[in-house]
Amino acid sequence: MLMLSDLDDLYQQVILDHGRKPRNFRDLPGATGRAEGFNPLCGDRVTVYIQRDDGHIADAAFTGKGCAICTASASMMTQVVRGKSVEEARQLFDGFHHMITDAASTVQEAEALGKLAVFAGVKKYPVRVKCATLPWHTLKAAIDHQDQPVSTE
């Protein structure tokens, strides 16, 4: 029998919840930044909208269709960056990326990311890393006003 604990690292309750009921899953009329992310090989697709207010991200939202990891990642990302400065958002991007892709990343580094630490387990599922990072790369593109759609494949 499959022990759910085997998948605990990936499908934690929080992630499942965000995957099922994503927060900030909406359009953002009047968005000052917008970017598209698409992983064609796996089918994850996300559009990230941000409302920039001076140097701060006043609002962030996303739409799209994707797997539970991608959706949950986008949901938590928009929660976490709202109200942060653009610089803080960039740091969160670096921290998240490091936590998920760097074999040497530590538990302390993960915990410093607050609720994003739930994604630390994705490291053990290399094929799914790109699902988790797609929304973040798309956010970065929205901040940088990149025109070309982003992909993490």
Q: Interaction with another protein in 90-109: which residues (CB under 8 A)?
A: none
Nearest to 52 by CA among 64, 34, 74, 26: 34
Q: Does 137 bind another protein (CB under 8 A)?
A: no
Which of 31, 32, 51, 68 is the binder for another protein (CB under 8 A)?
A: 68
DSSP E strand stretches across 27-67: 33-39, 44-53, 56-65
Between 44 and 59, whose beta carbon lies closer to another protein?
44
CA triplet 29, 146, 140: central angle to 5 degrees? 80
Which of 28, 60, 69, 143 is the binder for another protein (CB under 8 A)?
A: 69
Min dist CB 20 to another protein, Å, is 7
Between 65 and 145, whose beta carbon lies closer to another protein?
65
Q: What share of the chain is helix, strand, coil (3-state, %, to 5)?
A: 50, 20, 30
Beta-carbon contacts of 50 under 8 Å, excluding residues fewer than 6 positions away, are 28, 31, 32, 33, 34, 57, 59, 60, 81, 139, 142, 143
Q: Interaction with another protein in 72-91: which residues (CB under 8 A)?
A: none
Which of 66, 95, 121, 135 is the binder for another protein (CB under 8 A)?
A: 66
Q: Interaction with another protein in 1-40: which residues (CB under 8 A)?
A: 2, 4, 6-7, 10-11, 16, 19-20, 40
End-to-end CA gap in the chain: 33
DSSP state of 32: S
Binding site for another protein (CB under 8 A): 2, 4, 6-7, 10-11, 16, 19-20, 40-45, 65-69, 125, 127-128, 131
